[in-house]
Amino acid sequence: MLEILTSILVRTVVAGTPLLLGTMGEVVTERAGILNLGIEGMMSFGAVTGFIVTFTTGNPWLGMIAAIIAGALISLIHAFVTVSLRANQVVSGLALTMLGIGLSGLWGKPYIGRPLSIKMNAIAIPYLSDIPVLGQVLFYQDAYFYLSVGLGVLVWFMIKHTKVGITIRSVGENPKAAETMGINVSMVKYLCVMIGGAFAGMAGAHLSTAYSKSWIEGMTSGRGWIVIALTIFALWEPSKAFIGAYVFGGIFVIQYVLQPLGISPNLLAMLPYLTTLGVLLFYGLSSKGQRKMSAPATLGEPYIRGSR
């Protein structure tokens, strides 16, 4: 029994890791007032880049770094189009998703069906990993898990307790006031979009070089969209993103736990999406919840410098 529990928890944490990474990035982006619906595409692009670099160099760390850079670079398109050209953020994000999925399919094709010889291995933290259950769950994971937690805490601290965080929030809430304070609004937005892209790219590389060790088309399977829902679920709070990511990681795992009971796998596969809708409906039931669901004030709106 304890073994089953441990295994479920371990897999929950593993499944939650890319969600946590993606959500942290999107929280930063949206806090600066930019909605980036392109997570699925950036994640996919990160997955294929991470895979190809790991495949050719044999070093999953290089794969991770490459995926981070790739994610940040492809997100620049969204930043340019929405910040500099003030284009519609919804449509630009969708276009980015199509582009990311298309490019990764194109570049990844020769690598389909060729597994990595090496992947990001689990690292045991001395002593701590010997604790029953928790040791396996929290202290015997791959580097992506430790990094995602570390980066998550960093994002939380940055947003909540530093001047950088205040700058980002003011750009999202009241860009005109930020501008008069001497903040370069466009630059902050660009950087926050790129941070979001970097996180999404890293989440993708986790899927292709740690969670599994192969590249297949469509391997992100909607995680990018769940990340966007999780950002709302977390009410744009990094601390709540932790809860959301692992709850949804758990829902991914529950599918496989319930399958032997004879429930149709197709109905179980609906669970993450049904839960997402269910949670948002739950928030929406009360007007207090609806108010809480209110996004950063200028989310989705272009900022025009010097306008009144």
Partner 1 sequence: MSFVIIPREKATPLLNFMILISSLCAGLLAVGIVFLLKGVNPFFAISEIFRASFGSFFGFKETLTKAVPLILIGSGLALVYRAKFWNIGAESQLLVGAIFGTWIGLNWGPSLPGFIILPLMFAGGFIGGGLWGLLPAIFKIKFGINEVISTLMLNYIAAEFVKFLVVGPWKGKTKYGYPYTDDLPAQAVLQHMGNSRVSLALIILAVCVALFLAFLVFRTRFGYEIRVIGENPEAARYAGINFFRTTLIMMFIGGGVAGLAGVGELSSIHLHLSYPETISAGYGFTAIIVAWLGRLHPGFTIFSGLFFAGIIVGGDAIQMSMGMPATTVNVFNGLILIFLIMGDFFINHKVRYQRRVS
97 binds partner 1 (CB under 8 A): yes
Q: How far is the CB of 10 from partner 1 (least distance, A)?
A: 26
Here's the x/- map for partner 1, 200-219, by CB under 8 A: it reads as -----------------x--
Alpha-carbon span 167 to 261, nearest angstrom: 51
DSSP 8-state symbol, 87 = -
Q: Which lies closer to partner 1 via its Cβ, residue 64 or residue 101?
A: 101
Do 13 and 137 touch, CB atoms closer than 8 A? yes
Here's the x/- map for partner 1, 36-75, by CB under 8 A: it reads as -x---x----------------------------------
Residues 70-89 that bind partner 1 (CB under 8 A): 77, 81, 85-88
Q: How far is the CB of 248 from partner 1 (least distance, A)?
A: 12
Q: If we measure between CA atoms, which residue out of 43, 20, 33, 34 comes closest to residue 238?
A: 20
Q: Which residue type sits at 37?
A: L
Q: Which lies closer to partner 1 via its Cβ, residue 143 or residue 280?
A: 280
Here's the x/- map for partner 1, 220-259, by CB under 8 A: it reads as --x--x--xx--x---------------------------
* Choices 150-158, 174-182, 196-204, 277-285; region in contact with partner 1 by CB under 8 A: 277-285
Q: How far is the CB of 134 from partner 1 (least distance, A)?
A: 33
Q: How many CB atoms lie within 10 A of CB 59?
A: 14
Alpha-carbon span 73 to 206, nearest angstrom: 18
Alpha-carbon span 159 to 171, nearest angstrom: 12
Helix (H, G, I), strand (E, B), or coil: what is residue 76?
helix
Alpha-carbon span 249 to 29, nearest angstrom: 22
